[in-house]
Chains A and B, each alone.
Chain A
Amino acid sequence: MEYILQPWPWYISGPCIAIVMFLLLYFGKTFGMSSSLRTLCTIGGAGKHVEFFKMDWRSQKWNLIVILGAILGGFIGHQFLSHPIAIDLSPETITDLKTLGFENAGSSLLPPELFSWDAVFSLKGILILLVGGFLVGFGTRYAGGCTSGHAITGLSSLQLPSLIAVVGFFLGGLIMIHFIYPLLF
């Protein structure tokens, strides 16, 4: 039990994610978290206005069930299977974050500087979450997949389009962290 309560090392976590991918393929489906965003748009009635959302959402019900499970898994993992959060970040990361104004890095899953309600209700705070979320939603559908569909499933099936997408993920991420963060914080 003590091993479960500790953070899991990468060499346990990575193979576990591959098992999730494999099980979904074995069930005749696929591992793609972002597809659910399109399905939810369809359920919300987007198909009445836009061709892209005209589909039978019931064919995607299984993926919404995976997500309901993942939410419950997040609850179980956080409430019952974790010691108080102490993420073992590298000392350089903690120093860099301090320079940017992020204190106590690693003592929670998300930085209160961005995700506490005080931060959310500031103009800058809400814009960061809205723009970030918008780019994830737009970019993932444009690229035809996210980390699960391209980085895990696409790379492990040796697909060139997924490699290009993952290069894009890192290009965008590096631009954001190295060039845009210093302007924002």
Chain B
Amino acid sequence: MGKYIKFFLVGIFFGIVLVKSEAVSWYRIFEMFKFQSFHMYGIIGTAVITGLILLVISKMKKVKTTEGSELRVPLKELGYKRYIFGGTLFGLGWALCGACPGPMYILVGTGAFSILIVIAAALLGTFVYGLLKNKLPH
């Protein structure tokens, strides 16, 4: 169990940050897609820039992971169809229920239990993707 505690702590921090940043709020997602506030763009933008800086520094300093291997980001396979088709379907759902997978779980913790229905539907969606995977253009 000991080796999992660090993951649990990172998760707690992530949950607190997303609640305090209001990124778990349906209203903030609506506002973002209406381009009526900089808030969500500021969050995503500074996350990406900070992430980029951390990754560049760790590459320069040849930072090793706690497992002893070279720290590297898994690479997404090349292509465009799955990203544009899958991404668009994801975006439709994200805007409709105002929650992407991280916030879905975090909202359970805030006591918004009707989000469990959204999670159940997301599990079904994932299962149906697995069923149809070989028939879809990737």
B40-71 toward A: CB 8 Å interface, digit per residue (1/0)? 11111111111110110010000101110101
Residues of A contacting B124 in the complex (Cβ-Cβ under 8 angstroms): 133-134, 137
Tell me the count of chain A residues lying within 8 A, CB to CB, of chain B: 126
Complex: chain A residue closest to B17, CB-CB:
A16
Binding site for A on B (CB under 8 A): 4, 6-34, 36-52, 54-55, 58, 63, 65-67, 69, 71-80, 82-102, 104-112, 114-115, 117-131, 133, 136
If A13-B21, A130-B117, A144-B76 touch, whether A74 touches B107 (CB-CB below 8 Å) is yes
A119-143 toward B: CB 8 Å interface, digit per residue (1/0)? 0100000101111111111111111
Q: Is A67's CB under 8 angstroms from B83's CB?
A: no
Q: Is the interface of B mostly helix, strand, loop or mixed?
A: helix
Complex: chain B residue closest to A172, CB-CB:
B91
Chain B nearest Cβ from A118, distance in angstroms: 10
Q: Is A7's CB under 8 angstroms from B93's CB?
A: no
In the bound complex, CA of A154 to CA of B18 (Å): 19
Q: Given A10-B39, A77-B110, A137-B122, list of 15 further CB < 8 A pairs? A: A10-B38, A15-B47, A66-B8, A70-B12, A73-B18, A74-B15, A90-B37, A96-B34, A109-B19, A110-B115, A136-B94, A140-B86, A143-B86, A169-B90, A172-B93
